[in-house]
Amino acid sequence: MVQNKDHDTPLHKAADGGHTGICELLIRSGTDVMVKNKDGKAPLDYQRDPETRRHWKNLDKQVKQERSYHELMQKSGGVKVNRFKVFVGGKEATGKSTLKQSLTKGLLSALIERLSRRPVSQPHDPTPGVDIGTFHVPGVGEVSVWDFAGQAEYAVTHSMFMDAENTVFVVLYNIMDNKKAQEQQVTWWLCFIKSCNPNRQPDVILVASNADQVDAAIGQDRAALVVQTMQTEFRDHLRIADEVILMDCRKTRTPEMDRLKSLLVRIGAALIHHQRDMPKLCAKVMKRLPKWCKSKTSTKCPVMMWSDYVKEVKELDRFVTEDFLKKSSTFLHHLAEILFITPATSDPIIVLKPNWLGTDVFGRVMAPDYFENHLNRTSEDYVTREELQRVFQDVADVDLVITLLREFQLCHTFDKETYIIPGLLTQNMPDEVWQPPAESKMVYFGMQIQCADSTDMLSSGFFPQVQTRLMRELENRPSLWRDGAKCVDRDVEGLIKLSPDGRAVNICVRSLQGDKLKCGEMLQQLENINADVLYECSPGTGTVEKVLSSRALKEHRDQFYSYGKEEIKQAWEEGGTIVHRTLAIEEYICDLLCREDEDPLAINRPELVQVLRHVEPILDQLQAHGTLTAEECDVIRAKETPQDKARKLLDTVGRKGAPASRDFKAVLKQIIPHAAEMVQGHASDLLCSEDEDPLIRNRTKLIRDLTSRYVQERILNHLLQHHHFSEEECGIIRANKTGHSTARELLDIVGRKGQAARQAFKEVLEEVSPDTAKMVE
């Protein structure tokens, strides 16, 4: 963490130089990814690849949690807690609450129910938010069961609880629904679970409800198909149990229920076996929570303020320091036992029952019926403080509600009287807010963040939170709609639009004055907000960044059209123009990229314009080399002022891609050497870090290609057999929980070996995955 005079840490330097492997090593060793240097930049700001950024953030979080855990254990010692959690998810009315009741029903009531032959159906009473309780499940033991509401509006807050450790996820679907609906619903929940659990492979049991409504054999076949399909789709991310469970959720004493229970026992035992001891103070606090709920808080609002909480904990341990208690509370928050909220402007708040926040607070905010005027709501239709007071009067003090909503980025106020809650917006963005302008000078740029594959999703909370951040961070108030946002900064306008299927977000910027640099600044700011929120609410979601076609944006086509970054890099190398596959239009690469660090001739452009006072000798040389044609040189000469000549020269060279930029740099080296330093004309500067090592240069793609366990095993066995890897190294690699982390470890270890090991790695890749082998050349 040592810093130089510019306040750079070694991690800043490594990240700036694109040394991804060294960065990984430093982060694993505990270097902070967020520490700022003199320019206000954190190491993370130097990493442009979103996948790697997210990986670094996750790693950083993991390392910090690990450190804090060890500190707690060292100071307070640990105890075993033999309890695991069962999360029950699935679309509305699939039988989640019914299953929970049947699971937890005691032997006696199950028998009475059976003997009395009473109708077991209950009317459907939707669960608002998350219903949590600790139950004794006969045949299983003490389990904390979390019943998640199936309605989409509540999903906004589900992600707060979804990454709890020691959890078995039960996902329900109705066997009576058609195959497509079943697959869509189950996929949605599995994507959601994956998106919240980046560092582990959670256990999932799929349960089909309504067995009583279908012929047993047909139902069994359908359910088996769902299990098989989902196992194939999510094999690298989730451990989906092989068992095909099709049941009548209303019944307790059935063979299917017994099978489900024994599965829970088996998975639960494995979780408890690997479960780490809990720091003693945390265990003591956890035990006291029900008592504090009863005696220290009102039943309607199980919230403690920091000073009361400290006082109570001091009764458990009178020597506890506030710092230690904060760390212990963060640990309990991580286990989702409490919510430990630390607002920037006030003391921490402790929510003793997390589901209270999910159900009574967020549940009400998200269910639009509580607020007036909910049809076609836009950001102009704010909620007043009085309205909030009315809606929450029987739950909590309005100031507390507002603090909580703001902490979870669910609302924003500009005047402390009116509140904008993006989750409530219902109106889609009207076409007229983004129309072609009269000015022809207008330039457009854009990028797209897209889900990487079918197992990824932008979770429901993502876009409303992006909108809250826009209101907080932009200088001018943005306009918001359900699926879009528009912002303005002087002559630059920005548009953020969610795709209709919710799987991509398009960000575009335009400038009336053709100001490319200002466009670049706004694009970067908007992209950072999107990337940060995505990390916070879906750290496990894989995304791909693309560049939007500027021409399609300018023509205001009804869809967004994009280019892959590799495609652009290749086109830049080959001459600077690119043809869109679907649109069959050609455009210049330099018209697509506006961020300073992406465009080699945009960096230092103002300085270059000043330095290139006499373009004549440069033009002669460039024409002699065939880089520029005589006509192009004439157009440049025809400009009136030296600055305009320089600008035209830079634009003309910039349009011709990497070869022309390299020639230009070489000519400058002879004529004005210090100007040559300002040109970053290497193609590899563009979009990707300049790294010699293919394992680093292609790391993201390699990781993606090497996530299959089968491929990994083939590689490990080969490297072991040829004595490049030891048993111990293979063990370290195999100990990783997910396919992605195993691939990363594998690449790290191969990367540290010599040429012979790399050659062997390439050989085995040529056998198992020839396309991947090309990337290590």
Ligand X SMILES: Nc1nc2c(ncn2[C@@H]2O[C@H](COP(=O)(O)OP(=O)(O)OP(=O)(O)O)[C@@H](O)[C@H]2O)c(=O)[nH]1
For position 467 contacting ligand X by CB under 6 A, the verdict is: no
Q: Nearest distance from residue 537's CB to ligand X, in Å?
A: 21
Q: Nearest distance from residue 176's CB to ligand X, in Å?
A: 9
Q: Which stretch binds ligand X (CB under 6 A): 210-218, 234-242, 594-602, 677-685?
A: 210-218
Q: Nearest distance from residue 68's CB to ligand X, in Å?
A: 35
CB-based contacts of 74, cutoff 8 Å, min separation 6: none
Q: Which stretch binds ligand X (CB under 6 A): 65-73, 247-255, 291-299, 732-740?
A: 247-255
For position 123 contacting ligand X by CB under 6 A, the verdict is: yes
For position 122 contacting ligand X by CB under 6 A, the verdict is: yes
Report residue 64: phi and psi, to 5°. Answer: -65, -40
Give SS3 for 104: helix
Q: Nearest distance from residue 211's CB to ligand X, in Å?
A: 6
Number of neighbours of residue 476 by Cβ within 10 angstroms:
9
Residues numbered 136 to 155 that lie near ligand X (CB under 6 A) are 149-150
Nearest to 533 by CA among 466, 448, 461, 468: 466
Do residues 547 and 568 make contact, with C-beta atoms less than 8 angstroms apart?
A: yes
Cα 703 from Cα 698, distance rounded (Å): 9
For position 381 contacting ligand X by CB under 6 A, the verdict is: no
- Comparison of 212 and 236: residue with beta carbon closer to ligand X: 212
For residue 87, give the H/E element and its range. Answer: strand 84-90
- Comparison of 53 and 105: residue with beta carbon closer to ligand X: 105
- Comparison of 85 and 510: residue with beta carbon closer to ligand X: 85
Q: Nearest distance from residue 158's CB to ligand X, in Å?
A: 11
- Comparison of 104 and 528: residue with beta carbon closer to ligand X: 104
For position 94 contacting ligand X by CB under 6 A, the verdict is: yes
For position 43 contacting ligand X by CB under 6 A, the verdict is: no
Cα 476 from Cα 494, distance rounded (Å): 11
Cα 448 from Cα 438, distance rounded (Å): 26
For position 96 contacting ligand X by CB under 6 A, the verdict is: yes
Residue 500, CA distances (Å) to 195, 497, 576 in order: 20, 9, 32
For position 495 contacting ligand X by CB under 6 A, the verdict is: no
- Comparison of 125 and 315: residue with beta carbon closer to ligand X: 125
Residues numbered 250 to 269 that lie near ligand X (CB under 6 A) are 250
Cα 497 from Cα 486, distance rounded (Å): 9
For the chain, what is the total number of helices (H) and then of strands (E)? 33, 24
Q: Which stretch binds ligand X (CB under 6 A): 87-95, 570-578, 698-706, 745-753?
A: 87-95
For position 126 contacting ligand X by CB under 6 A, the verdict is: yes
For position 162 contacting ligand X by CB under 6 A, the verdict is: no
- Comparison of 97 and 550: residue with beta carbon closer to ligand X: 97
For position 197 contacting ligand X by CB under 6 A, the verdict is: no
For position 52 contacting ligand X by CB under 6 A, the verdict is: no
**DSSP letter assigned to residue 135:** E
CB-based contacts of 46, cutoff 8 Å, min separation 6: 12, 15, 16
Tokens of residue 209, six digits:
């409800």
- Comparison of 122 and 298: residue with beta carbon closer to ligand X: 122
Strand 203-209 and strand 245-246: the pairing is parallel
Q: Nearest distance from residue 331's CB to ligand X, in Å?
A: 30
Locate the DSSP E strands across 218-373: 239-240, 245-246, 278-279, 303-305, 339-341, 349-351
Nearest to 741 by CA among 211, 237, 229, 180: 237
Q: Nearest distance from residue 113's CB to ligand X, in Å?
A: 13
- Comparison of 133 and 430: residue with beta carbon closer to ligand X: 133
- Choose which of 9, 31, 98, 506 interacts with ligand X (CB under 6 A): 98
- Choose which of 76, 197, 201, 209 interacts with ligand X (CB under 6 A): 209
For position 249 contacting ligand X by CB under 6 A, the verdict is: yes
Angle at 339 between CA 334 and CA 342, to 5 degrees: 100
Q: Which stretch binds ligand X (CB under 6 A): 120-128, 472-480, 705-713, 741-749?
A: 120-128
For position 93 contacting ligand X by CB under 6 A, the verdict is: yes
Do residues 9 and 3 make contact, with C-beta atoms less than 8 angstroms apart?
A: yes
Q: Nearest distance from residue 256's CB to ligand X, in Å?
A: 10
Q: Nearest distance from residue 63's CB to ligand X, in Å?
A: 37
Q: Nearest distance from residue 315's CB to ligand X, in Å?
A: 39
For residue 508, give the H/E element and its range. Answer: strand 504-511
- Choose which of 116, 121, 295, 476 interacts with ligand X (CB under 6 A): 121
Tokens of residue 712, six digits:
């990994």
For position 210 contacting ligand X by CB under 6 A, the verdict is: yes
For position 304 contacting ligand X by CB under 6 A, the verdict is: no
Q: Nearest distance from residue 400's CB to ligand X, in Å?
A: 27
Give SS3 for 696: helix
Angle between helices 20-28 and 50-76 (to 10 degrees): 20
Residues numbered 584 to 643 that lie near ligand X (CB under 6 A) are none
Cα 348 from Cα 472, distance rounded (Å): 21
Q: Nearest distance from residue 73's CB to ligand X, in Å?
A: 39
The percent of the chain in helix, strand and coil, each rounded to the nearest 5, is 50, 15, 35
For position 248 contacting ligand X by CB under 6 A, the verdict is: yes
Do residues 257 and 104 make contact, with C-beta atoms less than 8 angstroms apart?
A: no
For position 113 contacting ligand X by CB under 6 A, the verdict is: no
For position 726 contacting ligand X by CB under 6 A, the verdict is: no
**What residue type is 492 in one-letter code?**
V
Q: Which stretch binds ligand X (CB under 6 A): 248-256, 416-424, 599-607, 628-636?
A: 248-256
Report residue 744: phi and psi, to 5°. Answer: -65, -45
Site size toward ligand X (CB under 6 A) is: 24
Q: Across-strand partners of 79?
A: 278
Cα 128 from Cα 395, distance rounded (Å): 14
Q: Which stretch binds ligand X (CB under 6 A): 181-189, 207-215, 500-508, 734-742?
A: 207-215
Cα 335 from Cα 271, distance rounded (Å): 14
- Choose which of 127, 524, 525, 712 interacts with ligand X (CB under 6 A): 127
Residues of the shown chain interacting with ligand X in the complex, contacts defined by CB under 6 A: 90, 92-98, 121-127, 149-150, 209-210, 212-213, 248-250
